[in-house]
Copies of this chain bind each other. A is one copy, B any other.
Amino acid sequence: MSPDATDEDVAHVVERVESVGGEAFVSKGVVRTIIGLVGDLESFHGLNLRTLRGVADVHRISDPYKLVSRQHHAERSTVWVGKGGAGNKRVPIGPDTFTFMAGPCAVESPEQTLEAARMAQSAGATILRGGAYKPRTSPYAFQGLGVRGLEILADVGAATGMPVVTEVVDARDVPVVAEHADMLQIGTRNMANFGLLQAAGDSGMPVLLKRGMTATIEEWLMAAEYIAQRGNLDVVLCERGIRTFEPSTRNTLDISAVPVVQATSHLPVIVDPSHAAGRKDLVVPLSRAAIAVGADGIIVDVHPDPETALCDGPQALLGNDLRELAQACRRLPPVVGRVASHERVGHE
């Protein structure tokens, strides 16, 4: 309460809190009075406490999310991707493994996609990424192949035995994407597209939820809660850089988000170093950092010919860089107590 709040102001707040079934504990000091509220957070939403006379400020103490919180689900979760079987192995993403996902930023042709998938697989990747729907800042830029791209991805997934993750940008496309892919990706621009989150939740498919480039970790977990609330807890979070004032990288990879999320939520969390940096030369060091900080996986752009890529060519790996990354993905996980997912998948 503000220093000039009267006893009636305090009484009025207490009365309103109690009117929705909450409890209010009043702590009176020489200068200020503090009122601690206890009760169901949702019931307090309608009170507009900040508008009450004498209220100086309101601080929320408990977390606003529930289903994705570690508070009631202390053990960290593992999400399995893929239907199982020779043509589509089941791959775990969770606390015991380190899962390497790779593929082209955009699906351009069957040949390019297959070649990128083979590159990814021989570097140790176990899940194939690739974009059929591309949200682009410019309406004049390449927007993806759409359903044709989904078909190519499904074919290449079957040919290589890798489950497929691909982005969905519109709630109306969820059914067709779910039909062709093994995991739905929700991109950074759509993290707060609540209709899309709910549609992804309803699909029952594993979801890869990228962090909004300007979302706090709490908002990101609230977005995951939208999916979970539809009964779908197979959500993997993906840190992909946030917008800051630093211009030398496209975004600033918030590496601390990995342990912060792991302390707060039971959901797996992976890192996308390609989109965070937007620069090929940073992908390998940032991938090493991601493994060492304890990420449950990484997702990386590879392309057989970055010079002709239709999307984000400057950040796609090939050749030596990819070999170096493959080596890091083999050598670092054991040092931080994890098994690389391709070893786990190989022995199932």
Interface residues, chain A, CB within 8 Å of chain B? 3, 23, 25, 27-32, 34, 36, 38-39, 41-42, 45-46, 48, 50-52, 56-57, 59, 61-62, 64, 71, 135-142, 169-172, 189-190, 192-195, 213-214, 216-219, 222, 225-226, 229, 242-249, 252-260, 263, 276-277, 280-282, 285-286, 288-294, 306-310, 313-314, 316, 331-332, 335-336
Q: Are A172 and B171 in contact (CB under 8 A)?
A: yes
**A315 to B246, alpha carbons, bound, how many Å?**
24
Assembly stoichiometry (copies): 4
Known: A36-B27, A256-B276, A256-B286. A139 touches B48 (CB 8 A): no
**A213 to B192, alpha carbons, bound, how many Å?**
12
Q: Are B293 and A288 in contact (CB under 8 A)?
A: yes
Q: For residue A307, which residues in chain B have a CB less than 8 angstroms away from its CB? A: 48, 51-52
**A294 to B283, alpha carbons, bound, how many Å?**
13
Q: For residue A260, which residues in chain B have a CB less than 8 angstroms away from its CB? A: 248-249, 282
Q: Are B245 and A214 in contact (CB under 8 A)?
A: yes
Q: Are A245 and B248 in contact (CB under 8 A)?
A: no
A320 to chain B, nearest CB (A): 14
Q: Are A140 and B45 in contact (CB under 8 A)?
A: yes
